[in-house]
Amino acid sequence: MQGRERVLADADTLPAPVTVVLDAIARHRATRAPLKQVLAELSARRRLGKTERQVAADALFAWARRRLDLEARIDEAVAGFGGVPPRRRDQDLCAVLAANPGLCDAKLPAPLDALWRTPLAERLPPFVRAQIAHLPDADALEQALLQPAKVGFAVDPSRLTRGEAILALQAQKPGVRPHPLCDTAIESDERIPLGKLPPAVRAAVWPMNPGSQLIAQLAQPPAGEWVLDLCGGGGGKAKLLGALGHRVVVCDIDRDRLQAARARDIPAAVFVLADGTAPPFAPRSFARVLVDAPCTASGTLRHSPDRALRLDAARVDAYSKVQQQLLAQALRLCREDGVVVYATCSLFAAENEEVVTPFVNRGEATAVPLSSLAAGLPAGPAMTLRPDVHGTDGFFVAALRPH
Ligand SMILES: C[S@@+](CC[C@H](N)C(=O)[O-])C[C@H]1O[C@@H](n2cnc3c(N)ncnc32)[C@H](O)[C@@H]1O
């Protein structure tokens, strides 16, 4: 069949980032590996420069966001194609161009070339849509999850004020402003290469979503107390807690992720490689326990749109079970006057409300008003952060006190 297919795109005439995008799509289709991973491997192999990598990433994710609609239209167009159909790579090129008008010149035959004259529907897969349908304004949320994200930064207030950090970032790009969600958060319309900043700014500013920052801030212990970050791998929230002057026990089951946290230069941190469902700590040891639970990450689809197609009921169920076990342990380790902060970067009820509420209903925990932990937050014990409302990734956060 391959030999009879019509070849439209000459690999030699396509810009390198477009070739990498087409290779990434083919590899992703064959292996089901995440797009970010295949893109990183192929960009390195083709020695793409920084700008070319960004062009490739933007084009690939724009394709991934519209993939369902594009593939349906291409299947339809190919079915109606008289004679020999275009080969798969050219169908992919057509889809990439449809999702990224103006990316490059390539001649494609009708009816494929008509694809980018009609606006594309941007929809999440039906499974994901059903999982967020319980939230108010679910359509607006869906659309927001399909847009590229703005860039968030955190500032270490012991090194630099937020105003100073913003001025330094504005010297690189306009469109940098404080993010209203919390006092360490900065938002930029564009990516900013931190390597070009003066060393003092580089040491004080790092990329972090404002929603993650709020969750870390909610887990701040009283002065001089320890906070246990039960799923702390990667160290994002632990880093901010450290920057805010707190002592953190960073626990994680994953050696590499814990190593990454260790490398983040967090003051007054202790690192423990352990399974949070069977943690090696005495009961009632901590004033604060943060459960930044492993989850489907359905709230971060703006950054990894291909993940939407990998989510299914079995995956949600598996996460939900671990989340319940982690929360049970967190409540056991938390002092009676302490607070457990449970968070996910998912918007699915099965990983959020349906994990937390049974502990309250069984009398194993009391809900803690978020307003008692930070000014300006709702009086309820839980909140959902959303890209369309808060300008953050999607997160759920709840506060509980053990019984
Ligand atoms: C959402 S990520 C944590 C991100 C991190 N808190 C940060 O802010 O950078 C969830 C983490 O849970 C860890 N994890 C998964 N299962 C676990 C378990 N049973 N016990 C402890 N950690 C676990 C994963 O390795 C992953 O690092």
Which pLDDT tens digit goes with each residue over 200-236? 999 999 999 999 999 999 999 999 999 999 999 999 9
**Residue 182 reports pLDDT greater than 80:** yes
Q: Where are the domains of the chain?
A: 2-117, 151-207, 210-402
Q: Amino acid letter at 231?
A: C
For residue 6, the model assigns a pLDDT of 47
Confidence of residue 109 (pLDDT cuts 50, 70, 90): low
Q: What is the DSSP letter of 4?
A: G
Closest ligand 1 atom number to CA of residue 229: 6
pTM strictly above 0.85? yes
Bridge partner residues of 221 (DSSP)? none
Average pLDDT over residues 309-331: 97
Q: Residue with the nearest Cα to atom 26 of ligand 1? A: 233
Closest ligand 1 atom number to CA of residue 238: 8
Tens digits of residue pLDDT in 372-396: 999 999 999 999 999 999 999 999 9
**Residue 2 reports pLDDT greater than 50:** no
Taken in order 257, 316, 29, 39, the sign of the CA dihedral is: negative
**Residue 90 reports pLDDT greater than 90:** no
345 in active site: yes
149 lines ligand 1 (CB under 6 A): no
Q: What is the distance between the alpha carbons of residues 202 and 171, in angstroms, rounded to a whole number?
A: 13
Confidence of residue 172 (pLDDT cuts 50, 70, 90): very high
Pair of tokens at residue 299: 């709230």
Average pLDDT over residues 42-49: 95
Burial of 291 from C-beta contacts in 10 A (0-12 / 13-18 / 19+)? buried
Q: What is the distance between the alpha carbons of residues 90 and 300, in angstroms, rounded to a whole number?
A: 30
236 lines ligand 1 (CB under 6 A): yes
**Residue 72 reports pLDDT greater than 90:** no
Ligand 1 pocket test, pick from 240, 253, 321, 396 with the greatest ligand atom count within 8 Å of Cβ, gives 253
Output phi, psi for 6, to 5 deg. Answer: -80, 130
* Helices assigned H by DSSP within 188-312: 199-202, 210-218, 236-243, 255-262
For residue 35, the model assigns a pLDDT of 95
Ligand 1 pocket test, pick from 208, 213, 237, 252 with the greatest ligand atom count within 8 Å of Cβ, gives 252
Confidence of residue 4 (pLDDT cuts 50, 70, 90): very low
85 dihedral zone (left: phi>0; alpha: psi -120 to 50; beta):
beta
Query: Which residues, other chains included, contact 314 with Cβ-Cβ below 8 Å and sequence gap of 6+?
Result: none
Strand-pair category, 185-188 with 365-367: unpaired
For residue 5, the model assigns a pLDDT of 46
Closest ligand 1 atom number to CA of residue 212: 8
Percent of the chain at pLDDT > 70 equals: 94
Q: What is the distance between the alpha carbons of residues 342 and 353, in angstroms, rounded to a whole number?
A: 10
**Residue 311 reports pLDDT greater than 60:** yes
For residue 74, the model assigns a pLDDT of 85
For residue 112, the model assigns a pLDDT of 72
Percent of the chain at pLDDT > 90 equals: 79
SS3 state of residue 271: strand
Query: Which residues, other chains included, contact 240 with Cβ-Cβ below 8 Å and sequence gap of 6+?
Result: 154, 184, 208, 212, 213, 216, 217
Query: Which residues, other chains included, contact 377 with Cβ-Cβ below 8 Å and sequence gap of 6+?
Result: 370, 371, 383
Lowest mean pLDDT among 119-123, 148-152, 276-280, 361-365: 119-123
Q: What is the DSSP letter of 149?
A: P
260 lines ligand 1 (CB under 6 A): no
254 lines ligand 1 (CB under 6 A): yes
Average pLDDT over residues 15-21: 94
**Residue 30 reports pLDDT greater than 80:** yes
Tens digits of residue pLDDT in 349-359: 999 999 999 99
Tens digits of residue pLDDT in 226-277: 999 999 999 999 999 999 999 999 999 999 999 999 999 899 999 999 999 9
Average pLDDT, the chain: 92
For residue 7, the model assigns a pLDDT of 47
252 lines ligand 1 (CB under 6 A): yes
Average pLDDT over residues 27-49: 95
Ligand 1 pocket test, pick from 209, 215, 217, 231 with the greatest ligand atom count within 8 Å of Cβ, gives 231
- Architecture of the domain spanning 151-207: 2-Layer Sandwich (3.30)
- Of 3.30.230.10, 3.40.50.150, 3.30.565.10, 3.30.70.3270, which CATH number belongs to 210-402? 3.40.50.150
146 lines ligand 1 (CB under 6 A): no
Q: What is the distance between the alpha carbons of residues 187 and 162, in angstroms, rounded to a whole number?
A: 11
Average pLDDT over residues 6-27: 81
Bridge partner residues of 226 (DSSP)? 247
253 lines ligand 1 (CB under 6 A): yes
Q: What is the distance between the alpha carbons of residues 350 and 62, in angstroms, rounded to a whole number?
A: 29
SS3 state of residue 348: coil
Average pLDDT over residues 48-66: 93
**Residue 3 reports pLDDT greater than 50:** no
For residue 10, the model assigns a pLDDT of 58
